[in-house]
Amino acid sequence: MHLLAIDWSLLTEKLVLIVVVVLISLVVAMYSTYAERKVAAIIQDRRGPNRAGPFGILQPLADGLKLFFKEEIVPKFSSKFLFILGPGIAMLTAIMIGAVIPWGNKVHLFGRDISLQITDVNIGILYVFGIVSLGVYGIMIGGWASNNKYSLLGSMRAASQIISYELAMGISLIALLMITGTLSMKTMVGQQMDHVWNIFKQPLGFLIFLVCAFAETNRTPFDLSEAENELIGGYHSEYSSMKLGFYLFAEYVNMFLSSAIMVTLFFGGYDIPFVNDATFIHTIGTNWMAVFQGAVFFIKIVLFLFLFMWVRWTIPRFRYDQLMNLGWKVLLPLALFNMLATGSLVLLHQNHWHF
């Protein structure tokens, strides 16, 4: 009798899925850097990178190669172990979020139904929150280990900013959770496929979540932690070579995955809009359905990535007191109000008020 029976096919299936998800996140992050430069250029009436390959699409490879060949410098008075650990944690936490995101419904291969989600944990959103909170350690440790005032300032800013905005973010999500009644990302997508997208039920919640997502990923207008013109790069000013690359990359991975989370929570995830899924899956089969779902999911994510970049090249950075004002005096009360309003509506609904 096997007490410890290992389902080898399940293991390989999950391993393949993990590798694919990590690769996709990295490639998307890589091309986000290209897209960012292109979007910036187009918004500023320039052309952007167009030398490496047709339309400059090999530019990210060239950038990566450059970073790899740069000299790796560890400052003499830095704490060496933590200095190396910092970018590692930043990258790790960025990629780990991808584990609970449903990339599609399922595919039918080799006589097995393979779910296109690494793990469907029933506390998916809590997991995301946990990992996002850990993400600040990468910045914090890196900034502190550099033994540099500017780095420390940058990482302090990042830490206080992320902690302040996580609060509003969490509370804005509580309202959503009261409506959906579940913490599992896949179940949420299922509900949105059957009914309307959550954005229509929680517009204010989405707005708060969006603003907080900008703050969590340290993107403009909340990029105080790396404010180039005040802090010479902030927490990564002592970093060079691929360690710096990891930090920059982690930001783009974060951006990609937070877009994925926003799409999953509020925009129906892999739900194909204006299409009746039940009849559609009948005509094209499970596997093609998964391909379409993945593509639609991806398009939605790309739109969000564009939004991130668009905002970055439009508005300047907040001042630090404005940032804290916005977080604690505006977003938090708004999120609380949203939660209370949603809660009372849900209560009324349960007591047979129909509206």
Give the total of residues touching another protein (CB under 8 A): 14
Q: Which of 299, 107, 104, 100 is nearest to 193 (CA)?
A: 104
User: Judged by CB under 8 A, which of 42, 196, 299, 348 binds another protein?
Assistant: 42
d(CA 106, CA 72): 43
> Which residues inside 70-129 make contact with another protein, applying CB under 8 A?
none
| Residue 44 found at the interface with another protein (CB under 8 A) | yes
Q: Which stretch binds another protein (CB under 8 A): 79-87, 236-244, 308-316, 339-347?
A: 308-316
Residues 6+ away with beta carbon under 8 Å from 88: 138, 246
Neighbours of 156 (CB within 10 A): 17
Which listed residue (18, 24, 26, 43) binds another protein by CB under 8 A?
Answer: 43
Alpha helices in 50-148 (DSSP H): 59-69, 80-96, 124-145
The stretch near another protein (CB under 8 A) out of 26-34, 74-82, 309-317, 335-343 is 309-317
Residue type, 311: V
For residues 314 and 344, which CB has a smaller minimum distance to another protein in the complex?
Answer: 314
Among 15, 46, 72, 288, binds another protein (CB under 8 A): 46
Both structure tokens of 186:
């896949």
7 contributes a contact to another protein by CB under 8 A: no
User: Of 12, 50, 122, 344, which one interacts with another protein (CB under 8 A)?
Assistant: 50
**Closest distance between another protein and the C-beta of residue 7, in Å?**
50
Q: Is residue 204 close enough to count as binding another protein by CB under 8 A?
A: no
Read off the tokens for 338.
């949203």
Q: Which is nearer to another protein, 186 or 312 (CB)?
A: 312
Q: Could you tell me the CA-to-CA distances from 108 to 103, 112, 120, 193, 289 in Å, in that order?
A: 15, 6, 18, 20, 10
- Regarding 47 and contact with another protein (CB under 8 A), the answer is yes
